């Protein structure tokens, strides 16, 4: 894999999972850890993710499969930073502009705290399909989110998020 593309793909995954606009009051704080895989066009990369989310902050660290840091994204209020594995630091007040500038494409990030919890973002049109009482598929803001498995806690365990040529898979191993 191209040395430049691999970190950028993982950073894209990181951005998709952590560079979030201020969440709605209804989105509770959470922490999750797990494995992520991202495919963008013909490139692919995988790693581990640790995400801590609250109303005021987001912290996400992506590491390669052997635990070395790839990228970090943080949100403090309305300020976002993205630090790459080579130590380059990027900052912006618009997380989508930040991902556009650093990664080359914009990611719609407003819904992620709700999407990983198995629910649509409130107030935004969505198409849903339920498998029994649980959300099985969601289409919102141009993204399709498939809920492949739920854990004993009732929260999603395996998800696939995709749009155009970007495909992100997340396996949540632990919710806190």
Contact 127, 158 (CB under 8 A): no
Q: What integer pLDDT is reported at residue 144 of this predicted model?
A: 97
Which H/E stretch holds residue 7?
helix 5-18
- Give the predicted TM-score (pTM) of the model: 0.81
SS3 call for 110? coil
Catalogue the long-range contacts made by 91-95 (C-beta closer than 8 Å, 24 or more residues apart).
95/15, 95/19, 95/20, 95/21
| Res 129: pLDDT | 98
Q: What's the confidence (pLDDT) of residue 103? A: 62
Give the pLDDT of residue 70.
78
Per-residue pLDDT of the chain (176 residues; tens, 9 = 90+): 444 445 554 444 544 443 333 444 456 899 999 999 888 888 888 889 999 999 899 898 888 887 777 778 888 988 988 888 889 999 988 877 786 677 655 555 668 889 999 999 999 999 999 999 999 999 999 999 999 999 999 999 999 999 988 899 999 999 99
Residues 168, 105 contacting (CB under 8 angstroms): no
């Amino acid at each position: 894999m191209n040395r430049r593309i691999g970190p950028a793909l993982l950073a894209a995954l990181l951005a998709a999972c952590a560079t979030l606009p201020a969440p709605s009051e209804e989105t509770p704080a959470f922490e999750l850890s797990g494995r992520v895989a991202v495919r963008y066009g013909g490139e692919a990369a995988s790693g581990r993710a640790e995400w801590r989310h609250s109303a005021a902050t987001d912290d996400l660290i992506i590491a390669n499969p052997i635990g070395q840091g790839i990228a970090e994204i943080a949100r403090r209020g309305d300020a976002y930073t993205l630090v790459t594995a080579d130590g380059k630091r990027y900052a912006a007040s618009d997380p989508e502009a930040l991902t556009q500038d650093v990664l080359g494409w914009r990611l719609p990030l407003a819904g992620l705290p709700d999407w990983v919890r198995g629910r649509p973002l409130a107030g935004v049109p969505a198409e849903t399909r339920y498998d029994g009482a649980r959300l099985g598929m969601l289409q919102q803001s141009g993204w399709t989110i498939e809920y492949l498995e739920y854990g004993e806690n009732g929260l999603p365990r395996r998800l696939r998020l995709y749009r155009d040529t970007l495909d992100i898979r997340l396996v949540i191993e632990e919710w806190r």
